[in-house]
Structure 1
């Protein structure tokens, strides 16, 4: 056969690839390869040391007797495949949790055979999802979960709570609500903050919670130094757990707020002049620590304090984790049973709370079990408001001023006028020096008060901003309590 009659290597690779893999793109333009009949997809440009599509393609070509090809032929073939895939319809890829058809939700068990859990309105079962319904994306952080046990009758929940050192039944109910929320791909959940004295098992409790979702390889991590590293860590898994926090910078606090409720980041694509790519993220967070110092009010609305206490009987790590690994299939099965019941329960949505979806989930949990999670959630938010006020001298000064106002009274001044008044009120007759971080201009004061709005509103002080012909103003109102509705007489 002459050289002209030979099929080019890139054509052999392309034909083999298109016969054995399905190629598609996501909304951001990334092209993925999915082996026929298998739900796991890999980016074709992945350069990872293990599990890249380039490697699985090379192995398939070799084992099926097509041949061994050099890097140039592979690159040319993948360039063509990528160009062809960009003309196909888009499809999302998911890590660990994904929406399915007919109101179902899928949970990736991280198994090589692709078996996953399908949670549907009438129950849950184990199956391999149709690749066109769910595409799983896996990373080195995707651990394997055991096959969950059916018909546990809630036994797994009792076993889990026996190992965790939660201080109260209310704390247990909030932990359960968070776990159920982690199995919902579209429900933002607040970040549990495991607190307690030294020796309370905060790190151990955090590992136990995340390993129900992420498997035995799931672990806690040190808090990244900046937002970019945090986002990179978040993008590689489903639940991100940060251990032993003692201080939160404003930038890290803002990044955590975005991760909990969802945000999008736009970055310049590498090796280009003007191309960009979008990174969207919303993930469950979990934090542990004794105290993180001053909590910013916007983060406080997105936290879920879970207090632990010191165990009365100490056990070795080996004993504890051996028992946990043994009961994990039962725990996961019980959590799936509970999730089905909670989703089927009907409850009203408390619209006055910042994270209304999670508050609704707590109400559904109460309707299904009677645990009282919603009341516990409200109480936890009230405690966090106290923490914010205790750490913010401006908030304390505003509340001191509001205490002298009449119910129903509204006071309006320019932001500069309010700054002068509140500064004088803080300094007092002793002429105390203004503390570090005190607003220096009316604009800074206005921004600080906007951030404090939810905290002050929870204490009966409303802050509003507006503009008249004379200029901008800030209005402080102490609303009158709403009148109680009289009950009609009986009989």
Structure 2
């Protein structure tokens, strides 16, 4: 478009198709062979200890966040890319407090802290990022809340979307947006759960380029993600380990308000809320190098970043970690109870082998013991392992859940492969 426009300005005519293609190839060759190599960013960039938040305004202004504070500048030092779906982010107004967001979050105080923590993490230039999962009954405002959260970080022409059909759709969305929001999920397919885990932590995706036989398209980046739905979406342990699960309260009819009124109030508060988030990111940049965690949980980078941001949010030291541990326990309990094999092993060990000697045997023997203790409906369900190999793979997946309950789980791979399980001491 730029080349066609310049040609029209100089000649008053339209450039031919072949001449346009030749001109583009020449420009590409000059850029590759003689131009400087720059790292491009979408929405959030980074250079020399500074973060840049693209406002997507016509003047290419951005918020520059440093350890000393933040300011809005024109023409930031980093190269920012924009897709056609990206929309302008409100210019932050200094002096905002994160408490202004509280009135729009119909959840507990602990869950509110997790929402704020996720927003602060989403403004970091690299992952891994926790996946924010919004659960709630019909009428709890999940979709509206998802759109609201996105507007604080990465406004879009299509703020919430249906779940992708395959890896290629997911990669295309990630390549054109900083933040992904998937709305009204009714089920979490195993392939989607695995793909979201890879995307949240920054694993690469490779797929064949269209209209080619052997050329690969590589996508390697991490993205903040929001999921919402009525059923539990974190039944798979890998996804649960990376998730912050928020339970939105049902809004009674006598307390329900029109969305246009809520939107007007939120729009008025949005510049100040964004300002408060920028203050928190500045505090994180200032303190992150001095933070020392007593122990490193699964999302240790995220925990360290938010711990460093606590002073910028007005939180007391340790407030976030206490709320995060509560959230992790709730998620772990939910995932455990949703896994039929984990529940069956707990029942088997409690009733038959409660002593410190535990139980040891082959996967085939364990499958026989468990089959005798579950109903026919459970045995015929898709989630129940049909073979010893499937049971062994399942135990590898649920071992963290069992250990969190105090079980000892060991798999010995010698001439005869065995499993040893010891129940927690009472």
TM-score by length of 2: 0.89
Take 1:467 and 1:137, find their aligned partners in 2: how far apart are those partners?
50
Which residue pairs with 2:113 in the alignment? 173
Give the alignment of 1:21-170 within 5 angstroms. Answer: 55-64=1-10, 68-87=14-33, 90-101=37-48, 103-130=49-76, 133-152=77-96, 154=97, 157-165=98-106, 167-170=107-110
Which residue pairs with 1:194 in the alignment? 134
1:340-367 per-position Cα deviation (integer Å, ceiling 9, x unaligned) = 2234344333544211112223433446
SS at match of 1:213: coil
SS at match of 1:215: coil
Which residue pairs with 1:397 in the alignment? 344
SS at match of 1:473: strand
Q: 1:395, 1:452 within 8 Å by CA — same for their partners in 2?
A: yes
- Which segment is superposed worse, 265-274 or 446-455? 265-274
The change in CA–CA distance for 1:314 and 1:259 in structure 2 (over 3 A counts) is same
Q: 1:365, 1:373 within 8 Å by CA — same for their partners in 2?
A: no
Which residue pairs with 1:232 in the alignment? 172
**Deviation of residue 406 (structure 1)?**
5.3
Which residue pairs with 1:446 in the alignment? 392
Q: 1:210, 1:218 within 8 Å by CA — same for their partners in 2?
A: no
1:131-188 per-position Cα deviation (integer Å, ceiling 9, x unaligned) = xx41111112211012111233x2xx222211232x2111111111001000101232
Take 1:432 and 1:274, find their aligned partners in 2: how far apart are those partners?
46
**Deviation of residue 214 (structure 1)?**
1.6
Name the count of aligned residue pairs. Answer: 416
Q: 1:98, 1:107 within 8 Å by CA — same for their partners in 2?
A: yes
Which residue pairs with 1:475 in the alignment? 420
Deviating above 6 A after TM superposition, structure 1's stretches of 4 or more consecutive aligned residues are none
Which residue pairs with 2:324 in the alignment? 377
TM-score by length of 1: 0.78
Q: 1:177, 1:361 within 8 Å by CA — same for their partners in 2?
A: no
Which residue pairs with 2:261 in the alignment? 319
**Deviation of residue 408 (structure 1)?**
5.1
The change in CA–CA distance for 1:424 and 1:302 in structure 2 (over 3 A counts) is same
Report 1 or 2 for greater relative contact order, CA contacts < 8 Å, sequence distance ≥ 6.
2
Take 2:147 and 2:398, find their aligned partners in 1: how far apart are those partners?
33
Determine which structure has more spread, i.e. the larger CA radius of gyration.
Answer: 1
Q: 2:127, 2:223 within 8 Å by CA — same for their partners in 1?
A: no
Which residue pairs with 1:459 in the alignment? 405
Take 1:79 and 1:338, find their aligned partners in 2: how far apart are those partners?
45
The change in CA–CA distance for 1:83 and 1:479 in structure 2 (over 3 A counts) is farther
The change in CA–CA distance for 1:441 and 1:297 in structure 2 (over 3 A counts) is same
Take 2:202 and 2:358, find their aligned partners in 1: how far apart are those partners?
35
Q: 2:135, 2:245 within 8 Å by CA — same for their partners in 1?
A: yes
Give the alignment of 1:162-311 within 5 angstroms. Answer: 162-165=103-106, 167-215=107-155, 217=157, 219-292=159-232, 295-311=235-251
**Deviation of residue 262 (structure 1)?**
1.8
The change in CA–CA distance for 1:208 and 1:293 in structure 2 (over 3 A counts) is closer
Give the superposed CA RMSD.
2.5
The change in CA–CA distance for 1:350 and 1:77 in structure 2 (over 3 A counts) is farther
Q: 2:85, 2:156 within 8 Å by CA — same for their partners in 1?
A: no
SS at match of 1:94: strand
Q: 1:142, 1:237 within 8 Å by CA — same for their partners in 2?
A: yes
SS at match of 1:291: coil
Unaligned runs of 5+ in 2: none
The change in CA–CA distance for 1:350 and 1:245 in structure 2 (over 3 A counts) is farther
Q: 1:180, 1:339 within 8 Å by CA — same for their partners in 2?
A: yes
Take 2:56 and 2:355, find their aligned partners in 1: how far apart are those partners?
58
